[in-house]
Amino acid sequence: MSSTVQPAYPSARPSPEAARHELLFLNCFRLAQALVYVGLALSPNALGWPKLADAGLARGVAVLFLLFALGMLSLTRRSTPWIRLTVSGALVVDIIAAVLAIATMHDARIGIAMMLAVNLAAGALILPLRLSCFFAAVATLGVLGHSLLEGQHSDVGMDRELLESSLFGLAYFSITVLCYVLSRQIRATEALAEQRGVDLANLAQVNELIIRRMKTGVLLVDDANRIHQINESAWMLLGNPAADQRDLGRVAPELSRRLYHWMTSGKLDESATQLADGVPEVVPRFSRLAPNDDSHVLIFLDDTSLVSRRAEELTLSSLGRLSASIAHEIRNPLAAIRYSAQLLAESTHMDATDQRMVEIINNHCVRLNEIIENILQLSRRERSRPETLDLGHWANGFVEEYRQGNDLGEDTLRVIQASTPVAAVADPQQLQQVVWNLVQNALRYGRMPGEPARVMVVARHGEHGVPVLEVIDRGPGIAPKVAAQIFEPFYTTHEYGTGLGLYLARQMSEANQASLEYVRVAGGGSCFRLVLTPPARGPAEHGDAARTAKL
């Protein structure tokens, strides 16, 4: 998730903010250095120190260097984008000014040479190593050159001055290399710390998102019974309290009481309780952040409805596997019974009563076979193979195929499609099973007493242009209490129903990233609406999609 920043000294560069601070330090020091030069050059003659070899030149150099230092300080922010060029040019001026100052104020040569070392060190914080060493060499040559020139005019102390200049040169190189290496190490450490900070921030965001999205409610409560952190699930399980309500005793008195009981006695009450009206029951659990530390306690709220749902899912899964194994065992004897009944039906010596018995056997064999097919579909749950379909064209083909395979009699089944093509992504085979189940239910239950069924398959654009396929009948509709349970497995209101048809239809719809819902039709009737996934569109198609959505 995170990458380790390796120190790369030759290519390491300061951040713009760090570079600006380093340049500001160099410019401020240069100003102080110039003030020292001015003070030495303008010192009263009565002091007698330092002795000026050329007073006019010394004062001119000091004043010009002061003006240069003031200009560089004022241009610090503007010159930051070209910091290497700026520092390089400024160091050239620093070295020239220092050599001239040494030449005109010979008594202060040691102090001036030492201050120049600070300029070179500050430059090494910003410039590459080769360029920094180049300026260190120039400064060394300048100091040595002055010593040689002075030695030609006076033999007194020449060897000592050359030795001092050589030592200053060695110090310049040492300080330059040392500051360069230290600056790169510091920047590598800062980069690593910054990267670790970003990683920690990202990790904190991920942890916060995970905790916020957890189905289990999580609260952090301090020793003053005040809520510090709360995730979405806990907020809902507490009855959606206001944001400024942080006192656990007021938000959830029962939870506060159980927390106090746990902290004083160490015993946990594991009975379910309802913390607010209209919310599920929960089982609270408590945990300290650190052993023997009651300053902060984590509270976990386990929703009992989720536990029941998981148990129900496990039960359904086990029941599905058991039913599938039983269905496989039933298929062979059922096929033998049906085959025998068909052979009996071909006999010419049976009276009407026997023929009626054979017909009953055949009908029940067909019904049992349908039940077995539904149970096997529930256990198989094949993966969908989505394709891009024109829903209007597909609906016409489906209705035509259904009419050929089923005798509708006086019932009507027709297609209503939008004037523009309705494209959707779905598995044609699974969509066929879903719509066939919905149409079968509509023809069976969606009719008024004594009247033929009128069923419509509608392919249209929904809100925001999403593809919608609806199966609508003009029957009596479904009562609200029944409508809330029709998609549950094994729920049926028909004496011969299995209760798996709509459940399987919704499962296959979800496998195709589609949603199936029941919508009551005004004036009587039912509508099963299937909202499908639209195909991916390119940028040039967005305008067409918007115009289609308006239709």
DSSP character at residue 539: G
Q: Are 126 and 84 in contact (CB under 8 A)?
A: yes
Q: Are 391 and 422 in contact (CB under 8 A)?
A: yes
Answer positive or negative: Cα dihedral of 357, 358, 362, 363: negative
Task: Decide: helix, strand or coil at residue 283.
Answer: strand
Task: Decide: helix, strand or coil at residue 285.
Answer: strand
CA dist., res. 377 & res. 47, Å (int): 109
Q: How far is CA 199 from CA 2, 190, 206, 229, in A?
A: 6, 14, 10, 22
Q: Are 58 and 5 in contact (CB under 8 A)?
A: no
**pTM of the predicted model as reported, rounded to 2 decimal places:** 0.43
pLDDT value of residue 546? 42
What CATH number matches the domain at 217-306, 3.30.1490, 3.30.2420, 3.30.450, 3.40.720? 3.30.450
pLDDT value of residue 67? 93
292: phi > 0 → left, psi -120 to 50 → alpha, else beta; which?
left
Dig out the tokens for 229 from the structure. 């952190």
What is the block-wise mean pLDDT of the chain (551 residues), using blocks of 10 residues?
41 68 87 89 70 82 91 86 88 90 85 90 89 91 83 63 85 91 87 87 80 81 88 86 87 89 86 84 86 83 74 65 68 78 77 81 75 62 76 89 82 87 86 86 82 88 87 83 74 61 79 84 84 69 43 37
Number of helical H runs and strand E runs in the chain: 17, 11
CA dist., res. 313 & res. 308, Å (int): 9
412-417, strands of its sheet edge to edge: 412-417, 454-461, 467-473, 526-531, 515-520
CA dist., res. 468 & res. 474, Å (int): 19
DSSP character at residue 417: E
Q: Which of 72, 59, 60, 61 is nearest to 29 (CA)?
A: 72
Q: Are 373 and 415 in contact (CB under 8 A)?
A: no
pLDDT value of residue 500? 66
DSSP character at residue 271: S
pLDDT value of residue 494? 61
Instruction: Provide CATH 3.30.565.10 ranges for the chain.
Output: 387-531
49: phi > 0 → left, psi -120 to 50 → alpha, else beta; which?
beta
SS3 string, 498-529, reads: CCCHHHHHHHHHHHCCCEEEEEECCCCCEEEE
| CA neighbours closer than 13 Å in the CB half-sphere of residue 41 | 27
- In sequence order, the 6+-apart residues with CB closer than 8 A to the CB of 313 are none
Instruction: Provide CATH 1.10.287.130 ranges for the chain.
Output: 307-379
Instruction: Provide CATH 3.30.450 ranges for the chain.
Output: 217-306
- The CATH code for residues 387-531 is 3.30.565.10
Domain 307-379 matching CATH 3.30.750.200: the answer reads no
Dig out the tokens for 68 from the structure. 């240069």
pLDDT value of residue 28? 92
pLDDT value of residue 223? 86
pLDDT value of residue 242? 86
